[in-house]
Amino acid sequence: MITAALVGNPNCGKTTVFNKLTGAVQKTGNWPGVTVERKQGFLRGAPKDDILVVDLPGIYSLSPYSPDEVVSRDFLIGDSESRPDVAICIIDASNLERGLYLLTQVADLRIPMVVVLNMMDVAEKIGMRVKADALSEILGCPVVETVGTKGQGTSAIGEAVQSAYEERTVPRTISYGNAIDDCIERLIPIIKETVRDDLLRWVSLKIIEGDSMVMAELDESTAASARSVVEELEQQVSDDGMQIIATARYKAGEAIRDGCVEHTESVDESERISERIDRILLNKYLAWPIFALVMFTVYLVSVQTVGLAISDYINDELVVWVQDHAAEAMDSAGVDTVVADMMLTGVIGGVGAVIGFIPLIALLFAFLVFLEECGYMVRVAYMLDRVFTYFGLSGKAIIPAVIGIGCSVPAIMGTRVIEDESNRNVSIICTSFMPCSAKLPIITLIVGAFFGASALVITSLYLFGIVMILISGLFLKKFRGFIGRPSPFVMELPVYHMPTVRNVMFGVKEKSWSFIKNAGTIILLSAVLIWALSSFTFTGEYLGDSATTDSILSAIGKALCWIFVPLGFGGSETWELTVASFTGIAAKENLLATLAVLLDSAVGIDGLPTMEVLTEYLSVTAYPEAVAMSFLIFNLICAPCIASIAAIYRELHSHRKLLLALLYQCATAYGVAGIFYQGYVLLHGEVGLGVLWLILFIAVPVYVILSKRPFGFITGGKEEVQE
């Protein structure tokens, strides 16, 4: 078996080529850093041996500073027994110099190499013809031309890999000029004893560069003598090693480019279509209104009008129809009433409440995938950066936040595009503040019941998520471990391109699937469990259609609901909301499924928790709309679902940090929902003990944010963590 590693710059089309090679359906996207983990698959139609293709995250060099670059570097260096057999170096032909800069580094690793010149079509459009045979001649290894998006040329890669493997076509040694080449010659004898033979040249260059990871592996005396050789070079060239090597590598790349590029009629760079689009979308005055309009349109179409109409139809017509027919069928078949009730209320009611939202969610996903794929999302990060830096965050934090509108799990993993660790930690903890697709049904329901399904209110909730992330940036910065500067905003704005229908459909399918899967598993189980707990007493007596007031669940809810008194929904008459909040931890869709089961008997109306049911249910409270909103806010911000908690743990790598993250999320949710409810009550002229809560909820975060002195995690204590 041949192991082939796919290496290349970010956004050079690696994943597209990988998908074409293996027939896999990995996520692609039009922004740098889509692939954050190693992915592998067998090459389809391999000419002879099995070829295992490993897709590595995009990198600019092998001096890793960010986690995804470490993944690539470690894999390529490997250890003496396991190294990839062949490196497939993918170069964006329209961005040749930067690709060649990385190629020189991979070439120094002395692995047989295949070069793939991707995006040949784009290169031709900007007036460049890259001659593959000339490049192959210069490098001494096979070169394949491809247009990954159209699948052109990718079939030749398999054969090139096979021949590179058999003939061990290690690229020719690349010269970096006499001064550097001499220095390498002098370094090799010094490190020969401690470094693997195949890495001698690469390690020598890394020593000149002053690479901390390489230097740390040398023993003291070797490092010292190597250092003195490098100092001589530095004096000779009167520059420092890092800059010497980078400049020399780019020079070498330019020389290779000059040997293989033919300039055809040059198209004026500034007249490219992308540039024209950017002149409007990134215009000083139009950029913001356009962004607001785009987001508003997305919610108007997917949530308020089209999506809601389809979902309503499913909820009001289809599910009720299924319920009616199932009831009839079970009645005539003589099914036991307990079982029939479980099926109707628990299974069909609970799962149906969630399933009904699939069209709405799929539509929302289609828009988001389109915005991501076409290249607009990165530009939003670029636009927002100025605002985010004010809060100590990078504009890049918007990318996980927007992915989080779909699902928090990929969003939390997507935080890896943020280099700075403290910045990344803030994003990991706060990304779930964005209302994910599972929270959307409950938003739609509550906003529908109390705020006339206003698209403005719904859009505001997403803005609210972003605001909470920004405030958290200021807040968390006051704690040790989160203190840091905004991550650098050094990135590429990819060229706009029209996403293919297939890519959008794939994105929609992938994202909706987890939603459907949840409905079939965890929500089904929870719905049945909640039905059972609400239908039986502690003594095991079946309550049937009668009120759930004596049930096990109501006892638990009533015992715990006092927790939410300052938030307005802690009264024993709304204990159902407490239970729903707890079941939301398993999956946010549960909020609705739980209410579907519980409100059924609480209000005495059959069917799903429609807006009417909810309005009637909350009519017993003094301020129904405030109670509903407070409940909504709490559940948007508080600890996310189990899957997201697992993702947070994976990214934070620490139980203690995870615990603090969850504590922060719940405390923030509690505080913000409290501010809303108590503020609402106060504005309606009711001055009571609630004012004390309001003061506490506002004073604590303000105190922390204004504090000059950072807090320790342990010494911070309970007061400081609560917001």
> Which parts of this chain interact with other proteins (CB under 8 A)?
60-61, 63, 65, 94-98, 101, 126, 239, 242-243, 246-247, 250, 269, 278, 282-285, 287-288, 382-383, 385-387, 389, 395, 419, 488-493
Q: Which is nearer to other proteins, 31 or 367 (CB)?
A: 31
Eight-class DSSP state of 479: B
Cross-strand pairs, 113: 87
Q: Least distance in Å: CB of 278 to other proteins?
A: 7
Q: Least distance in Å: CB of 125 to other proteins?
A: 12
Q: Which is nearer to other proteins, 373 or 385 (CB)?
A: 385
Q: Which is nearer to other proteins, 246 or 505 (CB)?
A: 246
Residues 6+ apart with CB under 8 A from 687: none
Q: Which is nearer to other proteins, 168 or 386 (CB)?
A: 386
Q: Which is nearer to other proteins, 61 or 315 (CB)?
A: 61
Cα–Cα distance for residue pair 569/154, rounded to 1 Å: 60
Q: Least distance in Å: CB of 492 to other proteins?
A: 6
Could you give the strand order of the β-sheet that contains 39-42, starting from the edge strand earlier in sequence? 39-42, 51-55, 2-8, 86-92, 113-118, 143-145
SS3 label, residue 4? strand
Eight-class DSSP state of 585: T
Q: Which is nearer to other proteins, 274 or 297 (CB)?
A: 274
Neighbour tally for 125: CB within 10 Å: 15
DSSP letters of 140-203?
Answer: TS-EEE-BGGGTBTTHHHHHHHHHHHHHT-PPPPPP--HHHHHHHHHHHHHHTTTS-GGGHHHH
The closest alpha carbon to 289, from 383, 391, 390, 402, belongs to 383
Q: Which is nearer to other proteins, 207 or 308 (CB)?
A: 207
SS3 label, residue 113? strand
The answer to whether residues 282 and 383 touch, using CB atoms and an 8 Å cutoff, is yes
Q: Least distance in Å: CB of 480 to other proteins?
A: 21
Residues 6+ apart with CB under 8 A from 84: 3, 4, 5, 54, 75, 76, 78, 111
Q: Which is nearer to other proteins, 280 or 309 (CB)?
A: 280
What does the radius of gyration of the chain's CA atoms come to, in whole angstroms?
30
Q: Which is nearer to other proteins, 418 or 543 (CB)?
A: 418
Q: Least distance in Å: CB of 423 to other proteins?
A: 13
Q: Least distance in Å: CB of 121 to other proteins?
A: 16
Q: Least distance in Å: CB of 137 to other proteins?
A: 23
SS3 label, residue 482? coil
Q: Residue with structure tokens 């799903």?
A: 608
Write the Ramachandran bin of 41: left for phi over 0, alpha for psi from -120 to 50, otherwise beta: beta
Neighbour tally for 499: CB within 10 Å: 19
Neighbour tally for 376: CB within 10 Å: 18
User: Can you say whether the dihedral through the CA atoms of 498, 504, 507, 511 is positive or negative?
Assistant: positive
Phi, psi of 92 (to 5 degrees): -75, 110
Q: Which DSSP helix (H) or strand (E) runs through 297?
A: helix 287-299
Q: Least distance in Å: CB of 204 to other proteins?
A: 18
Q: Least distance in Å: CB of 106 to other proteins?
A: 14
Q: Which is nearer to other proteins, 250 or 582 (CB)?
A: 250
- Residue 433 vs residues 407, 426, 436, 463: alpha-carbon distances, Å: 11, 11, 8, 10
Q: Least distance in Å: CB of 63 to other proteins?
A: 6
Cross-strand pairs, 152: 147
The answer to whether residues 570 and 503 touch, using CB atoms and an 8 Å cutoff, is no
Q: Which is nearer to other proteins, 379 or 478 (CB)?
A: 379
Spell out a b/e string for 557-568, using b for 16 or more CB atoms within 10 Å of the CB, else e: bbeebeebebbb
Cα–Cα distance for residue pair 423/427, rounded to 1 Å: 7
Q: Which is nearer to other proteins, 249 or 588 (CB)?
A: 249
Q: Least distance in Å: CB of 471 to other proteins?
A: 19
Q: Which is nearer to other proteins, 396 or 478 (CB)?
A: 396
Q: Least distance in Å: CB of 447 to other proteins?
A: 30
Q: Least distance in Å: CB of 295 to other proteins?
A: 16
Cross-strand pairs, 42: 52
The closest alpha carbon to 648, from 639, 35, 638, belongs to 639
